[in-house]
Structure 1
Amino acid sequence: MDFSRKTTLITGASTGIGAAFARELAARGSDLVVVARREDRLRTLQQELTKAHDITVHVLPLDLARPGAGAEVQRRVEELGAAVDVLINNAGFATFGAVAESDPTRMAEEVHLNCLTLTDLTARLLPGMVERGRGAVINVASTAAFQPVPRMAVYGATKAYVLSFTEALSNELRGSGVQALALCPGATDTPFFEVVGEQAVVGNRRRPEQVVATTLAALQKGRPTVVDGFVNRLGTLTPRLLPRRAMVAFAERITRPNPAHRSPAR
């Protein structure tokens, strides 16, 4: 896909995978609309990318976990006069712990951001892409989407939703000129674990730049789903081979708290 003089909207763009997407697509000539809560980080990214590349970067500081955030993004994009060609729904977070011991409000925010805002933004920005006959939606799921994950029950369920939604969307878009891709990274070296805690780390961490490279290669091939990293791809095959109860028990052992790790304060 040629990104030159296209406009890409990236949520969760201030750090990690979102920032890596911004840097790579800016280098490929895409104008950007970057969305996250931290305006200071977005402004720093804006200055970096506009200085390095002949592009436009629009900054939208918003909390996407709030009700109505999708409509607000659409309104502000329309005010900018921008036509979004590529949507990267990267914003999301996880909670760690048993559901009975977790904060209901925080879990609701997790579902809202990971599922509702992602779906809302897709539904709002996709019609323009279809009308123009070109574009792409990249939804960031996770390797956690492939099996239930005790102690990360809500996160795994939200990412299973993202995977299912995006694969169905990809089928709906056949022949439209618009692609939909579900990206499923494993552990990645991002601030994600500053929120959920080190106890959620499974396997070696990949670099955000590797995740972005995997994504763009899969987009070029027209794939509906991609898992980043060879070891992660092997891991997603396991749920197909084990009985479901055995897979859940295996996942529980992996996420069993390590006394050496302290959970972050809520």
Structure 2
Amino acid sequence: MPTALVTGATAGIGLEFARQLAGRGHDVVLVARDSARLEAVAKELRSTYGVEAETLSADLTDPGQLATVEARLADRGRPVDLLVNNAGFGLKERFLDNPVDVEQAQQDVLVRAVLRLTHAALGGMVERHHGGVINVSSVAAYLPRGTYSAAKAWVNSFSQWAHAEYRREGVTVMALCPGFVRTEFHERLGVDRDSSAPRPLWLDPDQLVREALADFDRGRAISIPSKRYKAIVGVTRLVPRSALQGLQSLGRK
């Protein structure tokens, strides 16, 4: 059976990826900080889908714990066929209102972990001429909204480059760019969901992941869910960056 490793696997988009991949017959390696929640999700997946579910408790801002996940991905004896870099990190305050170490922690999760885990996974995938990486980005990548947006823009650029570089060797790398999704993300930020965005902009995680996996199966480098977000991204390519500056609240996953 193929094996998928999912970071941020205990809630929201990551949990939905774990469920749908298990439903497709993937054994799963679940990565998150909360060991109790990890074990609960693993138990659910084993009993519901009859798959193997391995857990790795890791804080991806910690280099040593990140290295543990890298080692699991690089283990040629237990190959991982699909890596889903989903772990998220958002900040509510403006740049200068956050301690620089907190800003750095966000970049560690959104950029450094994505780079290092992708590097660890790709070696074996290229050797086997089979595998893939899904990097959960955001429509914020197309908008000028601080360090979160900048990190997601990097994820998009990195994913598109890696897709072009390694697709001839049997590896697909795709960036998934959701907008507002009904998850715990905004609650953890202390942001009221109802006031964050109009109701039509909110996406359900199950539909989002179904569309993402369909795009991945088609070999796409970028997945933008729903017609409304495709339209929004299309507009951002036509409107000057200065005019987009006012759209500060759009696009957190």
Does the pair score TM above 0.5?
yes
Aligned to 2:83: 87
How far residue 29 of structure 1 moved from its aligned partner, in angstroms, is 0.7
Report whether the alignment pairs 1:181 with 2:153: no
Partner SS, residue 139 of structure 1 = strand
Work out the CA distance in 2 between the residues paired with 1:141 and 1:78. 23
Relative to 1, partners in 2 of residues 1:78 and 1:156: Cα closer, same or farther, differing over 3 Å?
A: closer
Report whether the alignment pairs 1:99 with 2:95: yes
Q: Deviations over 1:159-208 (max 9, x none)?
A: 11101100111110131111001000000011101122326833432111
Q: What stretches of structure 1 of length at least 5 have no aligned partner?
A: 256-266
Equivalent residues, number: 246
Q: What stretches of structure 2 of length at least 5 have no aligned partner?
A: none
Contact (CA 8 Å) 2:76, 2:124: kept in 1 or not? no
Work out the CA distance in 2 between the residues paired with 1:71 and 1:223. 29
Q: Please point out which of 53, 68, 72 is paired with 1:72.
A: 68
Aligned to 1:171: 164
How far residue 231 of structure 1 moved from its aligned partner, in angstroms, is 1.1
Work out the CA distance in 1 between the residues paired with 2:119 and 2:161. 13
Work out the CA distance in 1 between the residues paired with 2:156 and 2:72. 28
How far residue 238 of structure 1 moved from its aligned partner, in angstroms, is 1.7
Report whether the alignment pairs 1:12 with 2:8: yes
Runs (4+) of structure 1 exceeding 6 A deviation are none
Query: After superposition, where does 1:168-247 map in structure 2 within 5 Å?
Result: 168-198=161-191, 201-203=196-198, 204-247=201-244
Work out the CA distance in 2 between the residues paired with 1:90 and 1:158. 13
Work out the CA distance in 2 between the residues paired with 1:6 and 1:220. 15
Q: Please point out which of 26, 31, 38 is paired with 1:30.
A: 26
Query: After superposition, where does 1:18-167 map in structure 2 within 5 Å?
Result: 18-76=14-72, 81-149=77-145, 153-167=146-160
Q: TM-score, normalised by structure 1?
A: 0.88
Contact (CA 8 Å) 1:95, 1:154: kept in 2 or not? no
Work out the CA distance in 1 between the residues paired with 2:123 and 2:83. 12
Q: Greater shift after overlay, 89-98 or 196-205?
A: 196-205
How far residue 121 of structure 1 moved from its aligned partner, in angstroms, is 0.3
Q: Deviations over 1:90-112 (max 9, x none)?
A: 00111022211112221110000
Q: TM-score, normalised by structure 2?
A: 0.92
Contact (CA 8 Å) 1:86, 1:135: kept in 2 or not? yes
Identity of aligned residues (%): 37
Work out the CA distance in 2 between the residues paired with 1:241 and 1:68. 43
Relative to 1, partners in 2 of residues 1:86 and 1:96: Cα closer, same or farther, differing over 3 Å?
A: same
Q: Deviations over 1:191-231 (max 9, x none)?
A: 10112232683343211101101111101111100111211
Q: Greater shift after overlay, 101-110 or 191-200?
A: 191-200
Work out the CA distance in 2 between the residues paired with 1:226 and 1:147. 16
Work out the CA distance in 1 between the residues paired with 2:227 and 2:210. 14
